[in-house]
Amino acid sequence: MAIELHPLQQFTIERILPLHVGRLDLSYTNSALLMTIVVLLITALTVFGTRRAALVPGRLQSFAEMSYEFVADMVESNVGPEGMPYFPFIFSLFMFILFANLLGLIPYSFTVTSHIIVTFAMAAVVFIGVTMIGFARHGLHFLRLFVPEGVPKVLLVLLVPIELLSYFIRPFTLSIRLFANMLAGHTMLGIFAGFAAIVGIFAIFPVAVDVLLLALELLVATLQAYVFAILSCLYLNDAIHMH
């Protein structure tokens, strides 16, 4: 019983279909299950939302179009028309994080983005991809990004390492921000739910707090998807327009 009240228990990974290949553990886990559901839902939204495109959109079509336009707007206003080739990537990223965050809020489900390995994998893809785009478009000239203009040569010894460090920290801030927000929010929800199970008749108070927290978590879930996507756009912008 006591273990059920543990606020961190919601983050445990459980094997649903155990599968071991050599020394690798390739089991299908609850985390993988949620990711599958997320991908299926997004695919269903975009496929069925655009199947019978009407001039006056229904709810599903409206939602599909809104999310498309929101991300298209974000890419275009932050990167410009040159960024549109990367729109499919940013759209997938945004929708995946948004759906993973929101589905995680459903009781008894699992929050994929509360595991740093998931968020770091996404941030690393963004970081490596953006760096490759930078080198592909500007060649070795891309390294000028780390040399600030209009600075005495002596100071460069100090400034170039700082610039390098602030560049290489990007994937870490990107991933830790998302992971920490989701982890903290869900832990808090778990703690208050734990109180509710203990205090009997007074459970109304922790449950009320949880209801309020859930509203806050809805905001955080959407906002974090937005922040992740917009920062990817800004990094992409740096790589494309470095002047």
The residue within the footprint of other proteins, chosen from 115, 177, 207, 209 (CB under 8 A), is 177
Shortest gap between Cβ of 56 and other proteins (angstroms)? Answer: 13
The residue within the footprint of other proteins, chosen from 51, 77, 141, 199 (CB under 8 A), is 77
Tokens 């599903």 correspond to: 60
Strand residues in 65-130 grouped as ranges (E): none
Residues 102-131 close enough to bind other proteins by CB under 8 A: none
Question: Which among 43, 184, 42 is positioned nearest to 113, based on CA atoms?
Answer: 184
- Binding part of the chain for other proteins, among 96-104, 105-113, 167-175, 204-212 by CB under 8 A, reads 167-175
Question: Which among 89, 127, 75 is positioned nearest to 235, based on CA atoms?
Answer: 127
Q: CA 21, CA 10: separation in Å to the nearest integer?
A: 27
Count of chain residues binding other proteins (CB under 8 A) = 41
Shortest gap between Cβ of 143 and other proteins (angstroms)? Answer: 11
Burial letters 178-200, b for 16+ CB under 10 A, else e: bbebbbebbebbbbbbbbbeeee
Q: Is 180 a residue that touches other proteins (CB under 8 A)?
A: yes
Q: CA 84, CA 99: separation in Å to the nearest integer?
A: 23
Question: Which among 29, 232, 13, 36 is positioned nearest to 124, based on CA atoms?
Answer: 232
Q: CA 95, CA 115: separation in Å to the nearest integer?
A: 18
Residues 207-226 close enough to bind other proteins by CB under 8 A: 219-220, 223-224, 226
Nearer to other proteins, 12 or 166 (CB): 166
Residues 136-165 close enough to bind other proteins by CB under 8 A: 144-151, 161-163, 165
Q: Is 231 a residue that touches other proteins (CB under 8 A)?
A: yes
Largest CA distance in the chain: 70
Q: Is 66 a residue that touches other proteins (CB under 8 A)?
A: no
Shortest gap between Cβ of 74 and other proteins (angstroms)? Answer: 9
**Interface with other proteins (CB under 8 A):** 73, 76-77, 81, 144-151, 161-163, 165-167, 169-170, 172-173, 176-177, 180-181, 219-220, 223-224, 226-227, 230-231, 234-235, 237-238, 241-243
